[in-house]
C-alpha cells in the first residue's frame, strides 16, 4: 500500500539577508517555501522536497538532508532536495561565502533547518493512502529558449532571461524541451493529494537582486493553491535555457505572465491525467567520479583580489575546500512512471538524452538536486568561444558527457 504525506513551510529569510551570494535584500515580494511529499510503501520511505532557493551547496545540502531524514524516519539517501533556482532567493554555500568581501552571515539558517524538520516530523503523523498515480505532458510554448546563441562570426552570445539585444533575442529558438510533465497522486475517492511538475528552463524572469521572491514558479503555485493537493515544481535541465526570447524588460509583468503560463500547463495536466493503480516504489541510484578541471588556488585568489565580488571564483575555492564528491543520479520508478533527479545545472541536451531512453514510457527530469556541480555543458561546448556557462560556475570538463550518458543508460536498465 502506497501512502503519501505532505508538508509546506515558509523558509523566507529576514529582510537584509542575501539573495544570491551577496545582494542584500530590501523587501519580501512574496514568501519562499519548502514543499515536500513523503512517499511510503512499507519497503521504502522517500522524501522529495522542492525549495524556493537559488542553490544549496556542499555542507548546507548535507545539513538539510540529514535533518529531514531524521524527522521523517528514513535514511539520508532517501531524501532528495531540489532547488527551483530562482535568483531572488538564497544561495547557501558556507564553503564559498567566506572568500567574499561582504559574506552572508546565514544567521537565519538554523531556524530554517528546525522549521523544515518539524514540518516533516508532523507530516509523517498524517499519511493518506494513494490509490492511483497519473502522468501527463503539456506542450508549453512561448516560454523556454536556448540561451546559447551562435553568432555569424562563430562565437556564442548569451540570451539572458531578460534580453535587451534584439538581435540575440530574435535569434532562432534553439534546442529546448517544450514539454511540461506532471505526476500526480490521488486517493480512492478521486481527491488529488499531491503532484510533481517539471519544466526545463532557468526559472527567473523577474529577478532584481534587492528582494526575496519565488518568481514565476511561485506565482504559478500560488494560482493553483493547495485545495487540490500540494503541488511541487521542479526545474529540469535548463542550464542553457532561459525565457529570453519571450520576456520583457518589466519584471512584474514577466512574473505574472509566465506564472500564469505554468499554472495553466499544470492545471491542464491534472485535468487530463492518465490514472493507473498505484504500484510499489523503486528507488535506484548510479554514481560516478565527477571529472574536474584543475584550477590553481592562487589563480582564483588573484581574481578575488582584483574583484572581491567574484562569486564564481569563491565558489570554485569552496569546491576545493569541500573536497571531491561523486555525481549521483537518482531514479524513482512506480507504475510505469520514471523520474530522474540530477545534481547540477545540466544543459537541456542531457534531459533530451534521458527522454530518448524511454521511447514508450513516461519520463520526467529534475536538475539542481544538490548544486555542488554547477554548470555541466556538453563536451563540444568547451571548444566554443564566448557564452557564459563554460567560463563561470563551471569546473567539469568534456569527459562529463561520456560518463553521464553511460550512468544514465545504466540507471534506465535498473
What was the pLDDT predicted at 328?
98
d(CA 288, CA 69): 24
Helix runs in 146-296, H state only: 166-169, 215-224, 251-271
What was the pLDDT predicted at 300?
92
Which tops the pLDDT comparison, 42 or 354?
354
> Mean of the pLDDT values across residues 137-141?
98
- 234 in helix, strand or coil? strand
CA angle 234, 93, 25 (to 5 degrees): 80
What residues have CB less than 8 Å from 2, skipping those under 6 apart?
Answer: 39, 40, 41, 129, 130, 133, 185, 278, 279, 280, 281, 334
Within 10 angstroms of residue 269's Cβ, the number of other Cβ atoms is 22
d(CA 148, CA 145): 9
> Where in the chain are the domains?
2-283+324-412
Phi-psi sector, 347: left (phi>0), alpha (psi -120 to 50), beta: beta
Q: What is the pLDDT of residues 221-266, one digit of tens each?
A: 999 998 789 999 999 999 999 999 999 999 999 999 999 999 999 9
What was the pLDDT predicted at 108?
97
d(CA 17, CA 14): 6
Judge contact between 411 and 333, C-beta under 8 A: no
What does the longest C-alpha to C-alpha distance in the chain come to?
Answer: 63
What was the pLDDT predicted at 228?
85
Cα radius of gyration (the chain): 20
Residue 303: its H or E element: helix 297-306
Residue 318, pLDDT above cutoff 90:
yes
Judge contact between 30 and 213, C-beta under 8 A: yes
Residue 296 binned pLDDT confidence (cut-offs 50, 70, 90)? confident
d(CA 156, CA 152): 9
Residue 104 binned pLDDT confidence (cut-offs 50, 70, 90)? confident
Residues of the chain with pLDDT > 90, as a percent, come to 93
Residue 399: its H or E element: helix 399-412
Residue 400, pLDDT above cutoff 90:
yes
Which tops the pLDDT comparison, 314 or 227?
314
What was the pLDDT predicted at 21?
85
Q: Which of 349, 380, 345 is nearest to 174 (CA)?
A: 349
Residue 102, pLDDT above cutoff 90:
no
For residue 351, what are the CA distances in angstroms to 244, 275, 283, 343, 357?
20, 24, 19, 12, 10
d(CA 175, CA 268): 24
Judge contact between 231 and 221, C-beta under 8 A: yes
> Mean of the pLDDT values across residues 203-221?
97
| Helix, strand, coil percentages in the chain from 3-state DSSP, rounded to 5 | 30, 30, 40
Residue 166, pLDDT above cutoff 90:
yes
Residue 161, pLDDT above cutoff 90:
yes
> Mean of the pLDDT values across residues 81-99?
96
Judge contact between 383 and 390, C-beta under 8 A: no
- The residue behind cell 523577474 is 206
Residue 42, pLDDT above cutoff 90:
no
What was the pLDDT predicted at 295?
84
Strand order in the sheet with 327-334: 282-288, 327-334, 337-341, 362-366
Residue 179 binned pLDDT confidence (cut-offs 50, 70, 90)? very high
What is the DSSP code (8-state) at residue 326?
-
What was the pLDDT predicted at 66?
98
pTM of the model: 0.97
What residues have CB less than 8 Å from 76, skipping those under 6 apart?
Answer: 62, 65, 66, 69
Q: What is the pLDDT of residues 344-386, one digit of tens each?
A: 999 999 999 999 999 999 999 999 999 999 999 999 999 999 9
> Mean of the pLDDT values across residues 108-112?
97
What was the pLDDT predicted at 183?
98
Judge contact between 201 and 13, C-beta under 8 A: no
What was the pLDDT predicted at 27?
97
Q: How many CA atoms lie within 13 A of 8 on its CB side?
A: 14
What residues have CB less than 8 Å from 83, skipping those under 6 apart?
Answer: 51, 53, 54, 55, 56, 368, 371
What residues have CB less than 8 Å from 399, skipping those under 6 apart?
Answer: 291, 379
What was the pLDDT predicted at 323?
86
What was the pLDDT predicted at 16?
95
Amino acid at each position: 500500500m502506497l501512502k503519501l504525506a505532505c508538508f509546506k513551510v515558509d523558509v523566507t529569510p529576514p529582510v537584509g539577508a542575501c539573495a544570491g551570494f551577496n545582494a542584500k535584500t530590501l523587501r519580501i515580494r512574496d514568501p519562499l517555501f519548502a514543499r515536500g511529499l513523503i512517499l511510503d510503501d512499507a519497503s521504502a520511505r522517500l522524501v522529495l522536497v522542492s525549495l524556493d532557493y537559488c542553490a544549496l551547496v556542499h555542507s548546507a545540502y548535507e545539513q538539510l538532508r540529514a535533518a529531514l531524514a531524521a524527522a521523517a524516519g528514513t535514511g539520508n539517501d532517501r531524501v532528495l532536495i531540489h532547488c527551483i533556482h530562482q535568483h531572488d532567493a538564497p544561495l547557501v554555500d558556507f564553503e564559498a561565502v567566506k572568500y567574499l568581501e561582504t559574506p552572508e552571515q546565514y544567521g537565519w539558517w538554523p531556524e530554517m533547518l528546525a522549521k523544515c524538520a518539524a514540518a516533516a516530523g508532523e507530516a509523517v503523523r498524517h499519511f493518506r493512502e494513494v490509490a492511483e498515480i497519473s502522468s501527463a505532458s503539456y506542450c508549453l510554448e512561448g516560454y523556454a529558449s536556448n540561451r546559447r546563441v551562435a553568432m555569424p562570426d562563430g562565437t556564442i552570445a548569451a540570451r539572458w532571461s531578460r534580453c535587451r539585444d534584439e538581435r540575440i533575442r530574435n535569434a532562432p529558438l534553439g534546442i529546448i524541451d517544450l514539454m511540461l510533465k506532471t505526476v500526480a497522486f490521488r486517493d480512492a475517492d478521486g481527491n488529488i493529494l499531491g503532484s510533481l511538475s517539471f519544466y526545463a528552463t532557468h526559472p527567473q524572469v523577474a529577478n532584481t537582486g534587492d528582494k526575496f521572491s519565488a518568481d514565476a514558479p511561485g506565482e504559478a503555485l500560488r494560482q493553483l493553491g493547495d485545495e487540490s493537493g500540494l503541488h511541487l515544481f521542479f526545474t529540469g535541465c535548463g542550464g542553457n535555457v532561459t525565457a529570453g526570447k519571450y520576456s520583457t524588460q518589466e519584471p512584474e509583468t514577466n512574473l505574472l505572465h509566465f506564472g500564469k503560463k505554468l499554472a495553466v500547463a499544470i492545471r491542464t495536466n491534472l485535468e487530463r491525467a492518465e490514472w493507473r493503480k498505484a504500484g510499489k516504489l523503486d528507488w535506484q541510484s548510479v554514481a560516478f567520479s565527477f571529472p574536474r578541471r584543475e584550477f590553481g588556488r592562487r589563480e582564483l585568489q588573484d581574481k578575488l583580489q582584483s574583484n572581491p565580488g567574484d562569486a564564481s571564483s569563491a565558489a570554485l575555492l569552496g569546491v576545493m575546500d569541500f573536497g571531491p564528491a561523486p555525481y549521483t543520479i537518482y531514479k524513482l520508478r512506480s507504475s510505469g512512471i520514471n523520474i530522474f533527479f540530477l545534481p547540477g545545472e545540466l544543459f537541456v541536451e542531457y534531459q533530451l538524452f534521458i527522454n530518448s531512453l524511454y521511447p514508450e514510457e513516461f519520463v520526467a527530469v529534475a536538475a539542481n538536486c544538490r548544486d555542488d556541480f554547477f554548470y555541466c555543458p556538453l563536451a563540444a561546448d568547451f571548444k566554443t568561444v564566448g557564452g557564459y556557462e563554460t567560463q563561470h560556475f563551471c569546473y567539469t570538463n568534456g569527459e562529463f558527457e561520456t560518463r553521464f550518458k553511460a550512468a544514465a543508460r545504466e540507471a534506465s536498465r535498473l
